[in-house]
Amino acid sequence: MRILLVEDEKRIADFIRKGLSENGYAVDVACDGEEALDWAAVAELDIIVLDVLLPGRDGLDVCRELRRRGSHVPVLMLTARDAIEDRVRGLDSGADDYLVKPFAFAELLARLRALARRERSVLGTHLRVGDLVLDTASRQVSRQGQSIALTSKEFSLLEYLLRHPNQVLTRTMIAEHVWNYDFDSSSNVIDVHVRNLRRKIDDPFAARLIHTVRGAGYLLSDRQPE
């Protein structure tokens, strides 16, 4: 899942980016409102974490402009203001959720998971293809009832594949959602992670779920591709 973090305080931005990256998110950072709008115009984002107090164009104005442009990307607003009227203004500007600083990092993660579950393609917290199940809330993965331990990046890769079952996903598409903007999609890192994922969710079982589509990318399906 690819997140744009809009935060002008470098110390806070570094802390949040590090924590999100450790939990498997791909994170890009913008330092002001104009940069955030530029990112939103060119990148396919899953969630925007948007600070209200930004230099120049503030977070409320950024959120209003995103909605004016027709963007439906979920927005989680961060602010040091705890007054009810401030929260109301944030939600009225088009934000989907609101988190007051300082906050527990576990709560930030929980709110991001909740926003991700609002996507129309996801019903509940369970993503399933065949006998493979991923629980986005507990971050547990199992196949045929057997628990499978994954690294954070493997989990993110599998979650992205499960959100797009029976679709061919190119390496560029995977890189844009599972890694951040600085990632070199021409490297073999994606192939290595797919290979490691196959060892865990395919090799111990009779049916293969992750398929390579030669010259195109990867496909997660419980049906053999034609």
Here the CATH number for the domain that contains residue 186 is 1.10.10.10
> Given the DSSP bridges, would you call strands 168-169 and 210-213 parallel, antiparallel or unpaired?
unpaired
Q: Give residue 167's domain range.
A: 126-220
* Domain match, 143 and 171 both: yes
Residue that finishes a domain, picked among 55, 90, 117: 117
Residues 173-190 as b/e (b if ≥16 CB within 10 A, e otherwise) read bbbbbbbbeeeeeeeebb
Task: Record the tokens describing residue 153, joined without a space.
Answer: 């990046």
Are the C-beta atoms of 40 and 73 separated by less than 8 Å?
yes
* Domain match, 77 and 113 both: yes
Residue that finishes a domain, picked among 61, 92, 117: 117
| Residue found under tokens 């996801």 | 122
Task: Record the tokens describing residue 147, joined without a space.
Answer: 């628990």
Each residue's pLDDT, cut to its tens digit, for the chain (226 residues) gives 889 999 999 999 999 999 999 888 889 999 999 999 999 998 888 899 999 989 989 999 999 999 988 888 999 999 876 666 766 777 788 888 888 888 899 999 988 988 887 654 444 567 889 999 998 878 899 999 999 999 989 998 999 899 888 989 988 888 878 886 666 666 788 899 999 999 999 999 999 999 998 888 899 998 876 6
If phi > 0 it is left, if psi is from -120 to 50 it is alpha, else beta; for residue 140 that is: beta
* Domain match, 18 and 98 both: yes
If phi > 0 it is left, if psi is from -120 to 50 it is alpha, else beta; for residue 211 that is: beta
Nearest to 9 by CA among 17, 136, 1: 17
Residue 226 included in any domain = no
pTM: 0.65
In Å, how far are 30, 122, 169, 217 from 212, measured between CA atoms?
A: 35, 24, 10, 6
Task: Record the tokens describing residue 1, joined without a space.
Answer: 């899942």
pLDDT of residue 124: 55
* Domain match, 108 and 135 both: no
- Coil vs helix vs strand at 3: strand
Amino acid identity of residue 118, one-letter, is: R
Q: How many other C-beta atoms can be found within 10 angstroms of the C-beta atom of residue 132?
A: 24
Nearest to 201 by CA among 167, 164, 155, 166: 155
pLDDT of residue 138: 82
